[in-house]
Structure 1
Amino acid sequence: MLDDRDRKLLTLLQKNADMPIGEMADLVSLSSSACWRRIKRLTDEGFILSRVAVLDRGKMNVPLTIYVLIRTSDHSTGWTDRFRDAVAEIPEISEAFRLTGNIDYLLKVVLPDVAHWDMIYQKLVRRLNFSDVSSYIAMEEMKNTGFVPTSYI
């Protein structure tokens, strides 16, 4: 079970994983060594999966976000495995979800422009059969924190 200090450390790390240990320790009222041990424990216990750098998508020339809704009539394990493999091999697909309801899969694709979406689409349809593929261009990013709430544990 996590305590308030653990939750606060997780929140601080989500905001800036490069924050110096001493600064984090001060913010959670711990010594630097006690703070480091807690972060190590949180990592060892799997609460912290990795530390990553968040890149500026504009500077990386992938400002466009397209959400893709996919329906398939084939729900076999073999089809799903081929779909997972295809998604894993396309770096422009930054997120992929299997859904309940009328839509089977949701993809988040980040690209330089719409023309690149057709290349990704062609890669997918060459490998798999779909009942329907619908794409939606995001006009404005209103919120994108990547944060996970820490208050439920």
Structure 2
Amino acid sequence: MDDIDRRILKVLQTNADLPVAEVAEQVGLSASPCWRRIQKLEAEGIIERRVALLNPEKMNVGVTVFVAIRTSRHDEDWLRDFAAKVTQIPEVVELYRMSGEIDYMLRIVVPDIKAYDAVYKRLIAAVPLFDVSSSFAMEAIKYTTALPVDYAT
């Protein structure tokens, strides 16, 4: 990966809907070589997919809840069951296995606290959990889906 590929990725992370000619102009290439580079980045799996980012407020899911989970079980069967059930909850938009005192961290989006309570009840019914701690985001100071491209090799 070279600097031109990185510039292409920066542009596409800002707006993947741009015509190839416009991407090419922004990165200093003609359209055909730019298109070939984009196809190569897709073939290599660097560009996984192109998606539409929705406005949470307009989708009526403006409340973000971070949920820290601790479990007393750390076996593969429990993890498989937990992951299968939690990933089926549409309000859970991110799920991470953590190091340290917290075993799993979830980011959940809902319209209000009542809706979160319903998600919470589905979550605790899904699998045995030791501790569930919820924190409500008061303000999103920075939110981006764009990854830094400077480290790409």
**Matched residues in 1 for 2:98 and 2:126: separation?**
21
Question: Scaled by the length of structure 2, what TM-score is found?
Answer: 0.97
**Counterpart Cα distance in 2 of 1:126 and 1:28:** 51
For 1:100-119, what aligned pairs fall within 5 Å after superposition? 100-119=99-118
Given residue 85 of structure 1, which amino acid in structure 2 is its aligned partner?
Answer: A
Q: Which runs of 5+ in 1 are unaligned?
A: none
The number of residue pairs the alignment matches comes to 152
CA distance in 2, matches of 1:21, 1:30: 10
Structure 2: runs of 5+ lacking an equivalent = none
Structure-2 residue corresponding to 1:48:
47
**Which residue type is aligned with residue 133 of structure 2?**
S
Amino acid aligned to 1:20: P
Q: What TM-score does the superposition give when structure 1 sets the normalisation length?
A: 0.97
Deviations 1:15-43 (A, max 9, x none): 00011111111111111011100000000
- Provide the identity percentage: 47
Asked if 1:130 is matched to 2:110, the reply is no
Q: Does the Cα contact within 8 Å between 2:86 and 2:126 map onto a contact in 1? A: no
CA displacement at 1:127 relative to structure 2: 1.8
Distance 1:97 1:21 in 2: 35
Show the counterpart of 1:146.
Answer: 145
CA RMSD, Structure 1 to Structure 2 (Å): 0.7
1:33 match: 32
